[in-house]
Structure 1
């Protein structure tokens, strides 16, 4: 069984500007790249789990999300780091794009994105964790049966070193 870290995206890895999808609007949180690299070096599978209701709201498309996520991984490779897979939920019950406007089990705080990763990558939940910046992230971790840590502060690397790798 393998261990994993799940990162929420907006507010943890990058500044949360609300409905981010354009590369030019992306700004790393201080210490995010170093944090990802540290987990990579410690043999954690490294994932992003993110709600992306902007798709259902008609603000951007799934293709826009994929372009941004590919770009993020390209940037990370310059530092010897990577995300193994990005999981996202494009659904939102009150959206305007019909095919995305419904309740979805993958939308956090529901644990489906984590559960899917656990099955696909044979993850040990007792050795896995989620780092998020909202209560819904921590509830998601609890619902999935993994540890959840609420990121506070402005340097993710300091946070993981003080909380997780102390």
Structure 2
């Protein structure tokens, strides 16, 4: 597997196989003040196919194909990217294809994106031309509805 990082991670910060088909990307070294100022992200290139789950403690940019679940801080999906599995991230910008659910706080779906699966979000932006085949559910809307139902039941 070819995971590259910008800026380059130290040799002690390699992907770690956690179980069959799963990888964790983390940096075990304490960052220096100069390194702490630079954003750290990993890239899965267009010529890469990952079979198995990915869990990253850093931002992740995917241009290739992932057959498995993806969990990270921020996920950027390039136009040629494809994920067959579930996505969980604080922020997602999708320009490629996702077949599976997306659970995020901040979602941007670009015109070239194709999403087949349920989407759970806090904030969403969908560009004209994007395709979504599945349900869209707002996290704050679900919480507000539960709160209103609870108060109505108390009265």
- TM above 0.5, yes or no, is no
Is the radius of gyration larger for structure 1 or structure 2? 2
Structure (1/2) with the larger helix percentage: 1
Higher strand share: 2
TM-score of the pair, normalised by structure 1 = 0.25
Q: Which has the higher contact order (CA 8 A, sep 6+)?
A: 1
User: TM-score, structure 2 length as denominator?
Assistant: 0.26
